[in-house]
């Protein structure tokens, strides 16, 4: 059984990487992840300019060789600012998704497997949270906690888990009703082993595809919160807040608000392509 598993995963990877979507998405994502790691470890040192330093070039300069994305109204290099802000969005997304994944699996797995009143409680709580749009709920929480990157991460972590719990619950429900669980139980396998061997792999694979797609969604919502001024405060750069700060220059220096906005879209597109390809590949594997 074990050797089959790794053979299957290798075959899966080969098929998966053969698709155009996967390759494109993976390249985009890798670029941004690489930037994040580099920045995380080297800080400002490898950047062309200091992202916070003003007047490193003429004010509102158009994109050129010296300043790839031009300069802003305070003479700061936009390219360096964009690079420096990369870890923010990605880090927040990963943390939020990971915690939601973990919380979701635990809550959903328990609810789906044991059913009964636990299941009801879970379903109703997720219903209530679903009724409030993520952004608005995060805004309300932000108002209470105060602005800041960490606070926004907390706010998002609190509200993001329901879809994962639902997915996990659905899988757990299916698995618990399947015949081989009965068979395993009668042969004396402990409940824990059943969970480990049958439930977890199934849940993990289907939720993985959703999670990859979801990273993009967190990025967009976080960017929105940042746009509204709820995340990092100036002068620290963050893509969303940059768009807001520069949007008055839409006519005179259109690259200023558009570049950070398009960067956000690029990250989301990268993860969407990756997630789509992953989901398609997992589905076709499931069918075969």
Q: Contact positions toward other proteins, by CB under 8 A?
A: 124-125, 127-128, 130-137, 139-144, 216, 220-221, 223-224, 227-230, 240, 243-244, 247, 250-251, 254, 257-258, 261-262, 264-266, 268-269, 272-273
User: In angstroms, what is the minimal distance from the CB of 198 to other proteins?
Assistant: 29
Q: Is 196 helix (H, G, I), strand (E, B) or coil?
A: helix
Where helices occur in the chain by DSSP H, the ranges are 2-18, 20-42, 78-114, 116-131, 134-145, 149-160, 162-177, 179-186, 191-194, 200-227, 239-246, 255-287
User: In angstroms, what is the minimal distance from the CB of 272 to other proteins?
Assistant: 6
Nearer to other proteins, 40 or 250 (CB): 250
Nearer to other proteins, 49 or 271 (CB): 271
Q: How many CA atoms lie within 13 A of 268 on its CB side?
A: 16
User: Which class for 173: exposed (0-12), middle (13-18), buried (19 or more C-beta within 10 A)?
Assistant: middle
Nearer to other proteins, 199 or 238 (CB): 238
Nearer to other proteins, 91 or 158 (CB): 158
User: In angstroms, what is the minimal distance from the CB of 150 to other proteins?
Assistant: 17
Nearer to other proteins, 61 or 265 (CB): 265
Q: Is 19 left (phi over 0), alpha (psi -120 to 50) or beta?
A: beta
User: In angstroms, what is the minimal distance from the CB of 177 to other proteins?
Assistant: 19
User: In angstroms, what is the minimal distance from the CB of 219 to other proteins?
Assistant: 9
Give the angle subtended at the CA of 143 by the CAs of 139 and 145, to the nearest 5°: 110
């Amino acid at each position: 059984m074990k050797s089959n598993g790794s053979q299957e995963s290798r075959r899966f990877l080969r098929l998966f990487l053969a698709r155009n979507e996967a390759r494109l998405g993976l390249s985009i994502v890798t670029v941004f992840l690489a930037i994040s790691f580099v920045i995380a470890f080297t800080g400002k040192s490898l950047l062309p300019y200091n992202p916070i330093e003003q007047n490193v070039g003429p004010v509102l300069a158009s994109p050129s060789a010296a300043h790839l994305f031009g300069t802003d109204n305070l003479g700061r290099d936009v390219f360096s600012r964009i690079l420096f802000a990369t870890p923010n969005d990605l880090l927040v997304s990963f943390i939020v998704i990971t915690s939601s994944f973990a919380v979701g699996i635990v809550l959903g797995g328990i609810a789906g497997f044991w059913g009964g009143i636990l299941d009801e409680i879970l379903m109703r709580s997720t219903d209530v949270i679903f009724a409030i749009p993520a952004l608005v709920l995060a805004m309300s929480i932000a108002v209470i906690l105060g602005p800041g990157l960490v606070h926004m991460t907390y706010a998002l972590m609190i509200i993001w888990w329901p879809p994962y719990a639902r997915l996990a619950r659905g899988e757990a429900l299916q698995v618990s009703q399947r015949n081989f669980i009965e068979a395993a139980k009668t042969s004396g396998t402990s409940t824990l082993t059943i969970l480990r061997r049958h439930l977890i792999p199934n849940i993990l694979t289907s939720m993985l595809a959703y999670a990859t797609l979801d990273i993009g969604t967190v990025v967009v919502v976080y960017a929105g919160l940042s746009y509204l001024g709820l995340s990092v405060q100036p002068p620290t750069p963050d893509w969303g807040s940059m768009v807001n700060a520069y949007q008055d220059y839409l006519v005179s220096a259109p690259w200023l608000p558009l570049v950070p906005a398009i960067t956000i879209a690029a990250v989301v597109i990268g993860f969407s392509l990756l997630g789509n390809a992953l989901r398609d590949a997992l589905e076709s594997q499931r069918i075969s």
